[in-house]
Chains A and B, each alone.
Chain A
């Protein structure tokens, strides 16, 4: 039953939220902020796709279109995807999984959030005062010579980078220093391993983005010339700096997602995760190797053949651990007791859509094939399959999985399934078509196109509307559940990680009694709770149970 006192009603009013040090409230604020960004980026995407439904101008000019796809990319990457799982779900769940009262640095956590807000304001400000038309990748010399709001946008992203760095610092220290007695590294839930690997990347890679953006600003504002061939500079150097961060950044996006999938599949199939150690260590391996492959974005940039070969080989090596994770998840399902909750449906969907995304990475990692596919819609489809079909689907799985814990309510599972179906059908229609268009030569970032591509664009755009419908339905039933949802039990899905051993929603200081950590994937002592609903632990008594 829903407790009387919990973190949501512990103090009320704007100040109790704006100045909160409670990781759970900060997580909720991030959830609202990042989902709001997803809405903004999504509307920009719908505008882009609508323009492309027909050849020639449809609803906007070429310049507006260029600003629109830049807005879509920059908002989605920097305001939404990179913070989303770590800052929204991670902030909420991580201390609970550790049986802790908060993250190591609660004030730094609050500062992270307000830095996100400041960065977002700069970016939004740049948009409303004229926009920026460089693409989210800001390649020089175009970005140093265009007269759109590059400096405001890049400065906003610079600030957002600090938000990300501070979150990473917080998570690393929390995991190192605030684990409960008995929870050795290999007894942590896999979501924590995933967040740890992510945090390492956030801390080590983001500063390189910071310096890259500062150099771009210096180039524009002071005419330094580091990227200008007329002044002895090299425009390709920008690409190296940029991708040195932005490739590891995609692992910031996918590692936490994989962490969610490990937990959701195991819990909703009532089955111990298969290959725990491999999955845990692969999070670190992927984080490390992810730093070595940035040049695969630059195979046709003029980089040497030797560099191309090394980057291509390393790119394939990173693919292997990800593939093995998929096999591990399937093996977890074997002989399980599979409950097709909305969370589980999204987790299973992840395997399919991320699978396609990952497999098409093989095409792009192969040098000879990438020459043909680079900068076409094939790449656009690939990264949407891994970022959207990967991270966003996993975010949806995580939202549905932890929603009862966060808000003390259950969602309407029937509407959840309908939403998932719409998202799945819409997503694949939108983006699978783009693979075919791309391998037929359709370049990306094109305002207009030749007649032979029109049919693909039409199908893709219609798919995007179906997908949007799925999202609007999902938003509707999530918000509706906050007002009318059935009260959630403490442990609706029968998980054994520590967040499920406290009330839904949790009290302000997380645990009435500090729990003892066990194997988070051992469900043998969890039985259905006929009275309160969900599951309860047999013989569980809190501290000192073992």
Chain B
């Protein structure tokens, strides 16, 4: 079957896509068949029996057991077949192979974060080609849903639980990730990419590089690491760096200045305040903002926080 994009469906990027597409197309064809049948009969009858001078309705039976049984049994058999194929296909989508490569997924408003077995956290999903990958997902806050249309998979990410989905990518390239459960202001902005590397070694190389990026930076460039973390770890969703208003206070020009707090008083923006705001955001809320920031305790290492502080200092 053709794996490229068609009228109805995007290209097939996973091993499961072909089976799903077969059923989608079958149901579509069955639907078109019945739709054409119904429409043709409808138009034919409307034309043939249209009211006109001298024309009257002719008596005919108002029930016909054979006909009624036929048009009950045939659709019934068809839907039984569709149900069965759908169920079988679903079991395949549900059941990851045993040796799948596991990536942890965290959904939060409004970002996906992927944690790899070596502890690296990235905001895109990098995978090796032609290997099954299992995603173990949860949510930081409300219900999100991880959807990869080209792989034909989707699963809700729930707070307080872990859900799983799996896929095996068939070709290197970039594929789309959407959030498919409405989650507020930037629901449509909660998108990411699946990056299928060209080979397993290439993937491993990326993984190693990603794990070390902060260590490799010279001290005067640490702020670039902070900037990368700002972009990747969900800070950007709520805090601007150019003064634009958002869910949280803008970072522009705050370093070294006092921030007014809810309930009176103020705080000086220096290292301890920033560290506290990251690991215990509810402790001090800037006046005029809601206490909705999730905690990053355990999610940012100390050197990552240092890099972020370095970045903030550059935002005069």
Contact = CB atoms under 8 A, between A and B. Distances in A.
A158 to B, nearest CB: 22
A245 interface: no
A277 B68 CA distance: 12
Given A66-B184, A449-B188, A308 B49 contact: no
B252 interface: no
Contacts of B161: 229, 302
A134 B149 CA distance: 24
A2 interface: no
* Most chain A CB atoms below 10 A, which of B57, B60, B67: B57
Nearest to B290: A147
Contacts of A276: 62-63
Contacts of A338: 45-46, 49-51
Interface in B248-307: 290
A278 B185 contact: no
A269 B38 CA distance: 17
Interface stretch (A35-43, A123-131, A176-184, A370-378): A370-378
Interface string B113-148: 000000000000000000000000000011101010
B41 interface: yes
A198 interface: no
Interface in B50-104: 50-51, 55-60, 62-64, 67-68, 71-72, 75-76, 79-80, 82-83, 85-94
Contacts of A370: 86
Nearest to A439: B8
Nearest to A274: B62
Contacts of B187: 66, 445-447
A276 to B, nearest CB: 7
Given A362-B31, A366-B82, A371-B153, A273 B72 contact: no
A333 B51 CA distance: 12
Interface in B16-60: 19-20, 23-24, 27-28, 30-31, 34-35, 38-39, 41-42, 45-46, 49-51, 55-60
A440 interface: yes
A139 interface: yes
A133 B183 CA distance: 10
A309 interface: yes
A541 interface: no
B20 A369 contact: yes
A194 B58 CA distance: 27
Contact of A302 (B35, B89, B149, B163): B163
A275 B62 contact: yes
Given A270-B57, A449-B188, A441 B10 contact: yes
A366 B147 contact: no
A303 to B, nearest CB: 10
A302 B158 contact: yes
Nearest to A376: B180
Contact of A448 (B45, B76, B188): B188
A269 B57 contact: yes
21 contacts: A62-B185, A62-B188, A142-B183, A145-B142, A147-B290, A235-B143, A236-B158, A312-B87, A324-B75, A333-B42, A335-B59, A335-B60, A337-B55, A363-B27, A363-B28, A368-B19, A368-B88, A371-B154, A372-B152, A439-B24, A443-B188
Interface of B: 5, 7-10, 19-20, 23-24, 27-28, 30-31, 34-35, 38-39, 41-42, 45-46, 49-51, 55-60, 62-64, 67-68, 71-72, 75-76, 79-80, 82-83, 85-94, 141-143, 145, 147, 149-150, 152-156, 158-161, 163, 176, 178-189, 191, 290
